[in-house]
Chain A
């Protein structure tokens, strides 16, 4: 059974501080790793799709790294702002059926 784990489950961060959280996934049959941001009362929105070991992607103050050999990805947020409050989802795609297996998410709350 393929398992995708995200930690921590929830995180409170002071406005202006930087933070990061983890997505762990199977290290075999890797094809892609997705990150999505899901704000309350909205739909999940794609942040990054990562496919190469060692890949690093950036979008504004948010960046992500990927280690396919050990099966983890980190999402970093620099200088957290209230609008960063959301649940961040990661999803693993294997090369057997190209379906996404989702983690349960990290809920980030930014304290003003």
Chain B
């Protein structure tokens, strides 16, 4: 398995509280991604990073922020969690982008429930 660790694996929180999910990689890959996966939907990109302190929004970025202060860590923050953010969150990494061979490696996922 690619060295990707997501924490926590499960979290239950209340509406309005801040939540931070962590993704840690040991592969030294440049690109890191946060996706959410909901029933009936494909994986949807929240934010991604193309280097330390270099991040960009995905298709469902509202309500989320990210930070990447080190190559190995990519944090996803829900500033004020809402029930619509109940989902499974996946972190992924890739070595490159736009080269035609950039398959993604995924973490184990975080099940987040916002009550």
Residues of chain A whose beta carbon lies under 8 Å from any beta carbon of chain B: 4, 31-32, 34, 36, 42-46, 49, 51, 89, 91, 98-105
**B89 located at the interface, meaning its Cβ lies under 8 Å from any Cβ of chain A in the complex:** no
Which one of B48, B97, B106 contacts A44 once the chains associate, using CB atoms below 8 Å?
B106
- Among listed B21-29, B37-45, B65-73, B74-82, interface-contacting one: B37-45
| A36 to B102 Cα, complex, angstroms | 13
Which A residues are in CB contact (< 8 Å) with B48?
99
Nearest to A47 among chain B residues (CB) is B103
Q: Are A104 and B98 in contact (CB under 8 A)?
A: no
Chain A residues with CB under 8 Å of B98's CB are 31, 98
Complex CA–CA separation, A44 to B94 (angstroms) = 13
Which A residues are in CB contact (< 8 Å) with B90?
A: 43-44
Specify which of A42, A46, A51 is in contact with B100 (CB 8 Å cutoff). Answer: A51
Shortest beta-carbon contacts, A-B, top 3:
A102-B42, A46-B103, A43-B106
Interface of A, helix, strand, loop or mixed by DSSP: strand
B: interface residue count bin: 20 to 34
Q: Which residues of A contact B100 (CB under 8 A)?
A: 31-32, 49, 51
> B residues within 8 A CB of A34?
103-104
Q: Are A103 and B42 in contact, with the CB atoms below 8 A?
A: yes
Q: Which of B41, B45, B108, B109 sits near A100, CB closer than 8 Å? A: B45
- Which of B97, B98, B103 lies at the interface centre, i.e. has the most chain A CB atoms within 10 A of its CB? B103
Q: Is the CB of B102 within 8 A of A104?
A: no
21 contacts between A and B (CB under 8 A): A4-B42, A31-B98, A32-B100, A34-B104, A43-B106, A43-B107, A43-B108, A44-B90, A46-B103, A46-B105, A49-B100, A49-B101, A91-B42, A98-B97, A99-B45, A99-B48, A100-B45, A100-B104, A101-B42, A103-B42, A104-B42
Q: Which of A43, A46, A49 has the most CB of B within 10 A?
A: A43
